[in-house]
């Protein structure tokens, strides 16, 4: 966790975007990861981007996970998905993610669309609290990581949780090979 000062997210909902706070508040008791294992830490919003964050808070890129929103069109309808990959890798958007979305071409969703549809800040989008109809594609390396740091929906904090928890989120699919080394 580097130098992050974490505490249970359920007691610091003020550090989360509204959809993330709602998801934490409704965390199922039967979930494989207890809600108290989902931690949040305040950070400097100017240091929210992965490289700057990792350097400033002494967090390894190998435990920092990024959430990217991808989009593709099929029969005139735009389909969205979130891809969760470690910061040491890059999402295979036009290969694995495209096939998972079942579209001809996939790309990163435009920033304005991602922000509007998620209710989260750009650079802080997280898989917790995403629209229920979106698949969450989680690279197998992420769930193999004991603890990972992800966004919190806002740029002024980060969430720390067990990597396997991301594979247990509603709508999550663990995907082998979703990411390639950066």
Q: Are 160 and 57 contacting, i.e. CB atoms less than 8 angstroms apart?
A: no
The whole-number pLDDT of residue 24 equals 96
Residue 11 tokens read as 């007691």
Q: Indicate whether this model's pTM tops 0.85.
A: yes
How do residues 90-119 score in pLDDT, each as one tens digit?
999 999 999 999 999 999 999 999 999 999
How do residues 125-149 score in pLDDT, each as one tens digit?
999 999 999 999 999 999 999 999 9
d(CA 79, CA 71): 5
pLDDT band of residue 174 (cuts 50, 70, 90) is very high
* Model confidence at 18: pLDDT above 90: yes
């Amino acid at each position: 966790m580097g130098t992050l000062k974490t505490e249970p997210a359920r007691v610091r909902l003020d550090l989360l975007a509204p959809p993330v706070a709602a998801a934490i508040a409704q965390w199922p008791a039967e979930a494989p990861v207890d809600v108290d294992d989902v931690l949040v830490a305040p950070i400097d919003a100017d240091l929210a981007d992965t490289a700057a964050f990792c350097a400033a808070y002494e967090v390894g890129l190998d435990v920092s996970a990024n959430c990217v929103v991808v989009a593709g069109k099929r029969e005139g309808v735009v389909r969205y998905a979130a891809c969760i990959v470690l910061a040491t890798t890059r999402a295979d958007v036009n290969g694995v993610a495209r096939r998972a979305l079942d579209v001809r071409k996939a790309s990163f969703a435009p920033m304005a669309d991602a922000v509007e549809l998620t209710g989260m800040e750009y650079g802080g989008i997280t898989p917790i609290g995403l629209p229920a109809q979106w698949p969450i594609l989680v690279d197998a390396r992420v769930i193999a990581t004991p603890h990972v740091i992800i966004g919190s929906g806002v740029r002024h904090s980060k969430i720390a949780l067990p990597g396997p928890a991301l594979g247990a989120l509603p709508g999550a699919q663990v995907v082998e090979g979703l990411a390639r080394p950066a």
